[in-house]
């Protein structure tokens, strides 16, 4: 936690290691920090891949706003 409106976290995904960002984990951080009284209903989460703005009223869905950026290209070949 940086302050009542900002948090920072890193993500380790099984099978992938450290990732640049995760909307699912950012939503969990926003909900958990609000439930614990550390933040309010709107929080900016600073992750290595960029910032997400998360809003949660304490019920229902977490709303997320932020950029979507291509981080790699790949070709898939069926064998």
pTM over 0.75: yes
Fold designation for 6-65: Diaminopimelate Epimerase; Chain A, domain 1 (3.10.310)
The 10s digit of each residue's pLDDT in 38-73 is 999 999 999 999 999 999 999 999 999 998 888 789
Give me Rg for the CA atoms of the chain. 15
The 10s digit of each residue's pLDDT in 10-43 is 999 898 899 999 999 999 999 999 999 999 999 9
Q: CA separation (Å) from 18 to 13, 21, 61?
A: 6, 9, 26
Phi, psi of 31 (to 5 degrees): -65, -45
Listed residue (59, 69, 29) closest to 46, CA to CA: 29
């Amino acid at each position: 936690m940086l302050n009542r409106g900002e948090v920072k976290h890193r993500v380790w995904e099984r099978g992938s290691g450290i990732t640049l960002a995760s909307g699912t984990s950012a939503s969990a951080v926003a909900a958990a920090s609000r439930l614990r009284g550390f933040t309010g209903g709107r929080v900016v989460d600073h992750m290595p891949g960029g910032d997400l703005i998360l809003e949660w009223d304490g019920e229902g869905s977490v709303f997320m706003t932020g950029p979507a950026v291509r981080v790699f290209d790949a070709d898939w070949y069926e064998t």
